[in-house]
Amino acid sequence: MSYKSLAASCLVWACCLAPAQGAESESLSAELAFIVEAYFEASLELNPLRASYLGDSRYNDRLANYLGAEHRGTAAALDRDYLARIEAIDPDQLNRQDRLTHGIFRLNLENSREISEFPEHLLAINQFYSFANQFAQLGSGTSAHPFASEQDYRDFLSRIDGFVVLTDQAIANMRTGMDRGVVQPRILMERVVGQLASLDRDFPDSVFHGPIENFPEDLTPELRQSLAEDYARAYEELLRPAYRKLHDFIRDDYLPRARDSVGMSDLPGGADWYATLVRHTTTTDLTPEEIHRIGLDEVASIQEEMRQVMAEVGFAGDLPEFFEYLKTEPSFYYQEPEQLIEGYRAMSDHVQSLVPALFESFPRSQFEVRAVEAYREQSAADGSYQSGTPDGARPGIFFANTYDVGSRPKWEMESLFLHEAIPGHHYQISLQQELEDLPRIRRFGGYTAFIEGWGLYAESIGGELGLYTDPYQYFGMLNAELWRAIRLVVDTGLHAKGWTREDVLAYMFENSASGEASAISEAERYIAIPSQALAYKIGELKIRELRDRAEAALGDEFDVREFHTRVLMDGALPLRLLEAKIDAWIASK
């Protein structure tokens, strides 16, 4: 969005918590509700996979060609239409919640309009955001596409047709990108080639064979045989050739034209593109240079606290030597992948027994710990979260990466679990989805700075919960926080200051205890998704600032459980709006 639009939105946010001027207009409230729900319905039809992830099965037979000109044009027209509708409603005539909805909806549309001005569609795939990997997850039978009935199986066969179209579109877009100099870094696409090669298996050994191995009990033997034959035929005639076509194109045509550089500043218009992403991701007007300086200051501060822990455990040496000790001491690592998964499952039970001390609101959604799938583990982060469905049909999932388990330290486990699972993403996202009185654009949307800021804040309260009793686990929390501070430095370094991949890795190894596998996957993640890594520390700093402000203002009246409810109760907000909301709560006390 433009700075003028940002300023206008801020004026809306600043008065979000004030009472409406004059009598509340029920007709305007009803009109707003109709507009946002109509938009959400249209967006689900336009993006059927999103519907599937929300547990809405109406479009399970479809896969949108979101990279195509027709789809992008339809999406842009939808945004223009609804932006005009929302701008016709005076937010001063709305109640508190409706003003929040108005401001959030308008900002969403303005952000979408602004980012559509950049050629993102020409960068169709990378190792981190890959429609090919996503479709493999869907087809495995363990993700958002259900395989509980014959219709579910038929729907996925139809989606395979859509995948073939999407694959051809991706190749066409990437060819256009090659002609225009809008191409991915070579190192990322080398990873993609490896990912795609790992998916090329004979059908019985393929990830897509999963649903055939796990038929619902109520399907007859004859129907099972028929579906198995249909799936084998679709795999060999459609799906496998599409994957091979994409693999061969990237290996033979795209890689030779991919770029050696890794930062966005080397793309046409890349500096403006990155600055736009930074504003959207952080929901602030901080510049890349300002964020870079914040990162450097945070790194220095956290490292000083690390030295105190080093002294506590009696380590004789400097911080880099302590990092090396943590990376190489065998007792800090599991030997078998399953040990890591069982460690997290035991931790899940323990943490869930502790959270009532700091929280008064708990999600209904169930939760599971799983290992990252083999075909994507080499490039995946140490841990990640996939949200469940509001109806509980699919649980929230914490994916732990067991690849090269000897590089995944035990001392990072508590902080990582708090962030990705409980009380981090699983609590925040599940509670938001369960706010049934809110419009769906707020229940199922949100801002990365809030979402990831909350995750990092959740790590910081581990000591209050009763964790981090082992100083090495506390050091792991500091290392995780340090990692997020390092992200401020290296993300802006990569995309605004001309840093290379090697510069990033050198900075990571010098300033953290990260293992090589983790550092490489993280560095390449920042290359693949510019600005996303900035959200964590910027969001956490704001939440911590607001808690400190509330504690100072309220003194003995401060209740941390109520504070956490107030932060989470309206969904994942822009940071300015979160600040206005908490300030109003403090004033009301």
pLDDT, tens digit (0-9, with 9 covering 90-100), for 421-434: 999 999 999 999 99
Q: Report the C-alpha gap between 355 and 482 in whole angstroms.
A: 24
Check whether residue 160 and residue 231 sit in a common domain. yes
Query: Is residue 547 a part of any domain in this protein?
Result: no
Give the range among 212-226, 238-252, 371-385, 486-500 with minimum mean pLDDT: 371-385
Within 8 A by CB and 6+ apart from 321, the residues are 315
Q: Of 118, 146, 173, which marks where a domain is finished?
A: 118
Is the pLDDT at 308 greater than 80? The verdict is yes
Whether the CB-CB separation of 412 and 369 falls below 8 Å is answered with no
Query: Is residue 410 a part of any domain in this protein?
Result: yes
Check whether residue 72 and residue 23 sit in a common domain. yes
Mean pLDDT of 120-133: 96
Query: Is residue 84 a part of any domain in this protein?
Result: yes
The count of structural domains within the chain is 3
Give the range among 83-87, 202-206, 508-512 with minimum mean pLDDT: 508-512
pLDDT band at 15 (very low <50, low <70, confident <90, very high): very low
| Beta-carbon count within 10 A of 220 CB | 10
pLDDT band at 25 (very low <50, low <70, confident <90, very high): low
Query: Is residue 45 a part of any domain in this protein?
Result: yes
Give the model's pLDDT for residue 2.
34
Check whether residue 357 and residue 435 sit in a common domain. yes
Check whether residue 344 and residue 391 sit in a common domain. yes
Query: Is residue 559 a part of any domain in this protein?
Result: no
pLDDT, tens digit (0-9, with 9 covering 90-100), for 176-200: 999 999 999 999 999 999 999 999 9
Instruction: Residue 200: name the closest of 159, 246, 240 by CA.
Output: 240
Check whether residue 287 and residue 229 sit in a common domain. no
Phi, psi of 384 (to 5 degrees): -155, 165
Contacts 24+ apart (CB under 8 A), 196-204: 196/132, 196/243, 196/246, 196/247, 196/250, 197/247, 198/374, 198/375, 199/132, 199/136, 199/243, 199/375, 200/240, 200/243, 200/244, 200/247, 203/231, 203/232, 203/235, 203/236, 203/240
Within 8 A by CB and 6+ apart from 294, the residues are 286, 488, 537, 538, 541
H/E segment holding residue 400: strand 396-400
Q: What is the mean pLDDT of the chain?
A: 93
Q: Report the C-alpha gap between 121 and 123 in whole angstroms.
A: 5
Is the pLDDT at 374 greater than 90? The verdict is no
Mean pLDDT of 73-92: 96
Mean pLDDT of 376-384: 83
Using CB atoms within 10 A of its CB, is residue 103 exposed (0-12), middle (13-18) or buried (19+)? buried
Q: How far apart are the first and last CA of the chain?
A: 35
Question: In terms of DSSP H, where are the helices of 181-220?
Answer: 186-198, 210-213
| Amino acid in the structure at residue 187 | I
Query: Is residue 571 a part of any domain in this protein?
Result: no
Is the pLDDT at 20 greater than 50? The verdict is no
Q: Of 260, 288, 323, which marks where a domain is finished?
A: 260
H/E segment holding residue 397: strand 396-400
Pairing of strands 383-386, 367-371: unpaired
Instruction: Residue 455: name the closest of 475, 434, 483, 433 by CA.
Output: 483
Check whether residue 23 and residue 152 sit in a common domain. no
Give the model's pLDDT for residue 256.
97
Check whether residue 412 and residue 508 sit in a common domain. yes
Q: Of 118, 148, 181, which marks where a domain is finished?
A: 118
Where in the sequence is the domain holding 195, given as residue range(s)? 131-260
Phi, psi of 406 (to 5 degrees): -70, -5
Mean pLDDT of 494-521: 91
pLDDT, tens digit (0-9, with 9 covering 90-100), for 261-298: 999 999 999 999 999 999 999 999 999 999 999 999 99
Whether the CB-CB separation of 394 and 417 falls below 8 Å is answered with no
Query: Is residue 311 a part of any domain in this protein?
Result: yes
Give the model's pLDDT for residue 515.
76
Check whether residue 166 and residue 50 sit in a common domain. no
Total-model pTM: 0.87
Check whether residue 68 and residue 212 sit in a common domain. no
Q: What is the dihedral of CA 271, 273, 274, 279, to 10 degrees?
A: 120
Pairing of strands 396-400, 383-386: antiparallel
Check whether residue 322 and residue 221 sit in a common domain. no
Q: Report the C-alpha gap between 228 and 232 in whole angstroms.
A: 6
Check whether residue 187 and residue 233 sit in a common domain. yes
Query: Is residue 99 a part of any domain in this protein?
Result: yes
Check whether residue 328 and residue 464 sit in a common domain. yes
